[in-house]
Amino acid sequence: MRITQANWDTNFKSIRESSTWNNQVDQELKMHKIHMYPAKFPSFLIGKSLEYARKNSITVNSIGDIFCGCGTTALEAKVNDKEFWGCDINPVATLIAKVKRETYSKNILNKYYENIVTVYTNNYSEIPDYIVQNDRILYWFWPKQIEDLSQLLNAIKLIIPKGKYQDFFLVAFSNILKRSSKWLTKSIKPQIDPAKPIYPVFESFKSQYITMLRAVEEINTKVSNSPNAQIINRNFLRLNVNESILDMLITSPPYVTSYEYADLHQLSTMWLGYTNDFRELRNGTIGSIYNQSLNNLDIEGLDEFAIDTYRNLSNADAKSPRAALKYFIDMRDTINKSYSLINPGGMAVFVIGNTTYKDIYIDNAKYLTKCMLNRGFGEIEVMKRKISSKILSPYRDKRGKFSNNKNHKKIYSYEFVIIARKPSNG
């Protein structure tokens, strides 16, 4: 549906579902699955956006993702032979994204892997202080797992010089951390699973390595080009954008108070030495409940739609509204900065869903669209697509409660794909 200043107040829920944007037909590349990441979007959205660009005569040589997460866009840009620029505040995200975007030789990987096995089996090294002295690591891991993980990390760093091959094995290491710990698997909140079995570290690493090697084999048969890519670990809102560089920006912004990315990646950030206190990494993370610092200047000029939602939240609960208000400010600034990053005549694709918080419906998609209109984006199209939650069961019993019974009513949730253009004279 085309949205303009005249009809922006349309109820987005009433927009007809778009079958074009609904489902992935082909299987995703194995490389997309080398590391778990919350709220990763489906890779076919990039191909669909490129198709949209072609139909609308938009030439796309460079693609960017300002919240690049684990690199879905980075990899798909490579598959489609496009240059890529990406950014994420989470160092684990940018590590994974870089590895997905890189090109690897299977023989070199195998050689490094054999050497890691030898050093892991034969060399004993002391557990480093930053691990022994970290209470959170002692909380999440059994002593034997700490010892084995330390040996493994030491072997990787000893054998492989810093660079893309070391990064590859660090990603493999990172993805076995949750399995090797007491962390309740697939939980979106960090919590201990008291009944969790102890999985041997090296077996998990070996099977993770094989999975990643298969991913490399597959991508090497399908993709031969490697256009330029730059992936940076930064807070997008703190970035100085001096020039436009992207023909197409495609991204899925965080939702208000949804995932605590810093908390969910704490095992990796601590083991890989990005921080001793993972809570530091909450700073600046959009949508985090801890990201609430405001000053009056920020609020000035904020769209009334955001202020209304803030008021509704304030009436419902005393604690959370500041975080929501901060989120609205951050999203407005995101849109303004994105505009500067896109070349005149280029396009932006935002994929975003709506949320309910303390029983208040938060229309993230509509707010984002309003910010785009305010900034001067044109030709705004909003598409509604169906999503099925991988975490919650989509089935509900007669009373509306979650159920695993497939005969019960299926409730779908939706998200929105918002496409817009920067005017050629913008």
Ligand X SMILES: C[S@@+](CC[C@H](N)C(=O)[O-])C[C@H]1O[C@@H](n2cnc3c(N)ncnc32)[C@H](O)[C@@H]1O
Min dist. Cβ of residue 283 to ligand X (A): 9
d(CA 401, CA 98): 41
Q: Which residue of 72, 150, 320, 354 would you call a contact of ligand X, by CB under 6 A?
A: 72
Residue 86 contacts ligand X per CB under 6 A? no
Identify any residues that bridge with 248 across adjacent strands, giving them in sequence order: 63, 347
Please count the residues of this chain forming the interface with ligand X, following the rule CB under 6 A: 22
Question: 72 or 150, CB closer to ligand X?
Answer: 72
Residue 87 contacts ligand X per CB under 6 A? yes
User: Going by C-beta distance under 8 Å and a sequence separation of 6 or more, which residues neighbour residue 282?
Assistant: 260, 262, 263, 288, 290, 291
Q: Which stretch binds ligand X (CB under 6 A): 11-19, 87-95, 266-274, 354-362?
A: 87-95
Question: 148 or 415, CB closer to ligand X?
Answer: 415
Q: Which residue of 41, 113, 141, 377 would you call a contact of ligand X, by CB under 6 A?
A: 41
Residues 227-246 within binding reach of ligand X (CB under 6 A): 235-237
Min dist. Cβ of residue 188 to ligand X (A): 13
d(CA 143, CA 390): 32
**Among all residues, whose Cβ is closest to ligand X?**
69
Min dist. Cβ of residue 282 to ligand X (A): 10
Q: Which residue of 252, 257, 268, 343 would you call a contact of ligand X, by CB under 6 A?
A: 252
Q: Which residue of 89, 119, 131, 323 would you call a contact of ligand X, by CB under 6 A?
A: 89
d(CA 416, CA 31): 26
d(CA 250, CA 44): 12
Residue 69 contacts ligand X per CB under 6 A? yes
Helices (H) and strands (E) in the chain, counts: 15, 13
User: Going by C-beta distance under 8 Å and a sequence separation of 6 or more, which residues neighbour residue 204?
Assistant: 176, 179, 180
Closest CA to 120 of 1, 244, 203: 203
Question: 26 or 135, CB closer to ligand X?
Answer: 26
Min dist. Cβ of residue 331 to ligand X (A): 11
Question: 46 or 156, CB closer to ligand X?
Answer: 46
Residues 274-333 within binding reach of ligand X (CB under 6 A): 284-286
Residue 43 belongs to what H/E stretch? none
- Judge whether 343 and 244 are in contact, CB under 8 Å: yes
Residue 99 contacts ligand X per CB under 6 A? no
Min dist. Cβ of residue 4 to ligand X (A): 27
Backbone angles phi, psi at 399, to 5 degrees: -90, 5
Tokens found for residue 401: 């409660």
Tokens found for residue 194: 């008291």
Min dist. Cβ of residue 203 to ligand X (A): 27
**What residue ranges in 5-136 does DSSP mark as E strands?**
62-65, 83-88
Min dist. Cβ of residue 314 to ligand X (A): 24
d(CA 380, CA 349): 10
Residues found near ligand X in the complex (CB under 6 A): 37, 39-41, 67, 69-70, 72, 87-90, 93, 235-237, 252, 254, 261, 284-286
